[in-house]
Amino acid sequence: MEKSRILAGLGAVLLTTSLVAPPASAAPGDPGMPSTRDFGNGPERNQVAAETPGTSRITTGLDAAPDQRWSPRRQGYPRQTELPVYPENPADKSIKLGLVPYHGIAPKLNALQEVSDRVSAEVAGHSALGRDLYLVTVTAPETRAEAARQDRWRALIEDDPAAAKRDRILQRDYKAPVWINANIHGDEWEGTDGALRVIERLATATDAATARLLSRTRVYVTVTNNPDGRIAGTRANGAGFDINRDHATSSQPESRAVRDVVIATQPFVMLDEHGYTGTTLIEPATPPHGQNYEYDLYIKHALPNAEGMEAAIQRLGYPETARADIPFRDYAPGDWDDWPPIFTPMYAIYQGAVGHTVEIPWQVNRNAYETLPVEELRRRSAVNTDVAAATIEAAVGYADTHRGALLADQIEQFRRGWAGAPSPQIPDGFVEGFGPEDRYSTTFPRAYVIPAGAGQRSPAAAARLVDHLAAHDVRVTRARHDFSLAGKRYARGSYVVDMHQPKRGLANVLLEAGRDISDLVPQMYDISGWSHRLLWGASVDISATVAPRVATTPVTIAAPTGAVPAAKGRDLVLTLRDGADVRAVNALLDLGVKLRRTDAATVVVPAVARRDAQVVADRFGVRFSTAPRGTGGTPFEAPVLAAAVSADELFALREMGFEVRTVSTALLSAGADLSAVDTLVVSSGLSYAQLNPVGKAEVDELLARGGVVTRGATGAAFNAATGLLPATAVTGRGDANGVVAVQNTGPVVGAGSLPHSFVYSPIWFTGTGFTVEQRYAADPLVAGHWLPSAPGAGGPEQAAGQASVISGATTRGGRAVLFGTEPLFRAHPKGLYAQFARALFWTSS
């Protein structure tokens, strides 16, 4: 392809973020085709384009302005939207269970819209493979003016809670919003069917009680949050992601869609319908409870609502619904916690909802799906559907019955945020069973500042963080003038997150360092440490007690950051500090630009490629500087990677613009060709010992001339089996995870990296004959949960000072880098991407 065409199509061709191949049967226009943009469902605007005189922004779905996101405004109810109907798919896994297949949902909703003026159905977003995500609203009809008044009241509750509390008409007439999210795990099907049953009953019931309910309530249902997984019978979406681990990161279109739904609807109560736990499980959860919650306002409703749902399933009369497990009431601390904001209900709490996970009882997925008779599977699914419907009906009833208290408490949550009220201190016995083990709170800082100018490590990373916060309804402003705070000078254009704001809990849970909770609970359900401030690559400062005194402007999207300030005729330099820098380098290489590297982190762009550099600077928000005269460097080309990696790592590699060919033990043993590959990446699904002679010969040939980058236990085992570097891998406790402090000591990974990293099942390396790129700090765990695997073994004390990342020339003739950390974990620690990319460039040269 000629360069002019590549330049013209850079936003649409090179930068596509759809990373998953469509189904083999998909045709253009089918819902199975991957999408090159997000169709207005609130994309994560991680790339910030520069605007220079005479140019315009290159816009894709990644840059969509906030007004392009899904919103329920500007119309009354009902909205008679005719949903597109897709061809029947006999391979849909839900059919075997006697459930509604994905292709059957739109016709059913269209039919309900025809017969009922209470039902509105619309497309709120698209899946990773481009399938429609349906949002159904069930409520009594509203004129445009009545709907607009509900919208104004919803905004008033958040923006001016004191005025909302005084507004007697609002108190009387504001409709209680309830949000039901179904089928977020694709092979946990029946939440969709239970929700459809409730929608149909509410739509067609003729009794006065239902009419009164819908005059006071809006019920919102995301009917299937994961149609890709529903059809395929997989927990993950079409990109291989567990969407119910993505809400702090928003890497997937499905999580972005429901993010926008919860912001726009501001529910009092939400349910996330899951399965399967043997008995029905209904949150509230065990400690540790998220320390940024207004937990008193949550638990006072969550516990009685859960008990009401338990009573509802008991009335079904099945032996398996005689009781429910309510973790807060029934489980030990740490067994089913609500600590991280990655889960849908936990995220919804920060948006003002009383959130519940509901786990329906009977397993029908995985081994059960393959081995049980169809009759038994359908019996189980029928029970599960009854349970899902019963819990939804009960939650809607609770919201209606307790509408006044729920409204008052949502107002109070936002009031505390605006007022900067201290974190609640909840007494023992506040609800039955509440005790010292449940008491988690925090001290909110007064403000966060994201510096502009020389004080910012990575302008592209800063812009990404600002866009992310704004997309999640965190209030961010931009300083109009220079200012001083806590003895430090900040440039005009710096961003301020004033923590006197309604959703301060969400702002803080995303930006704070977190907490080491290892000594508080014996185990955790999932990750227990994260921090966009420490792991997303931007410089972010904390002001504990004082807010900046400077005029500011509200921000909906970050200011442009890309620039090529060097004088014409001079070579340019780009430092690889962030994933955006890596994407820019790979885009230039794709354009045929002859790049050079002076070291692992520094890329030189020839003066003749200035126009190309300007294009990628605009697109990715990266900033080039002037290369010193006479700067040399070693030419390099875009590496071709063969990767045996997890889905999240594959996503991150492709997001950075690398050409990646997936491999595995089976594929290599079947004759997969590595002759054009420069570096092999190993973290999952590849065992050298299990390769047949054909596969081993192919790998051996690559090891003799190319590079290797490994991560985790699988990578360490590959290194041991091939004898690449003389290192012994020591494993920490398998469920240990969190944010760790590190010392950057080496020239490749350590060059310019952050002083923090992320671990899950941490590893460190002992021995000699290699370069230590990074070490765990003397007290490594900053936030998370990391206990010893045995007395005196596998804990942070044993990892302290040990090598977490190493590099070196291999015994086979190439180069290798071994990671004991998790720099690409779930597409989350974005500030660590560049260190992994530097390892890829170095090993491939």
Number of H helices and E strands in the chain, helices first, is 26, 33
Q: In what order do the strands lie in the sheet with 354-360?
A: 119-126, 132-138, 217-222, 176-182, 269-275, 354-360, 280-282, 324-325
- Residue 717 near residue 709 (C-beta atoms within 8 A): no
Rounded CA-CA distance 98/439 in Å is 45
Listed in sequence order, the residues at least 6 apart from 152 whose beta carbon sits closer than 8 Å to its beta carbon are none
* Bond preceding residue 276 cis, omega within 30 of 0: yes
Give Dmax (Cα) for the chain.
Answer: 84
Q: The tokens of 377 are what?
A: 């599977």
Element (H, E) at 740: strand 737-744
- Residue 731 near residue 766 (C-beta atoms within 8 A): no
∠ CA 272-278-281 to the nearest 5 degrees?
35
Query: 473's torsion region: left (phi>0), alpha (psi -120 to 50) or beta?
Result: left
Q: What are the helix (H) ranges across 36-76? A: none
Q: The tokens of 278 are what?
A: 């043997």
Amino acid at 62: L
Catalytic annotation on 359? yes
Which residues face 1 on adjacent strands? none
Listed in sequence order, the residues at least 6 apart from 50 whose beta carbon sits closer than 8 Å to its beta carbon are 560, 561, 562, 563, 617, 618, 621
Q: Which of 190, 200, 283, 359 is catalytic?
A: 359
Rounded CA-CA distance 505/290 in Å is 9
755: nearest Cα among 804, 721, 796: 804
Rounded CA-CA distance 158/156 in Å is 5
CB-facing half-sphere around the CA of 118: CA atoms within 13 A: 23
**Which residue numbers are catalytic?**
359
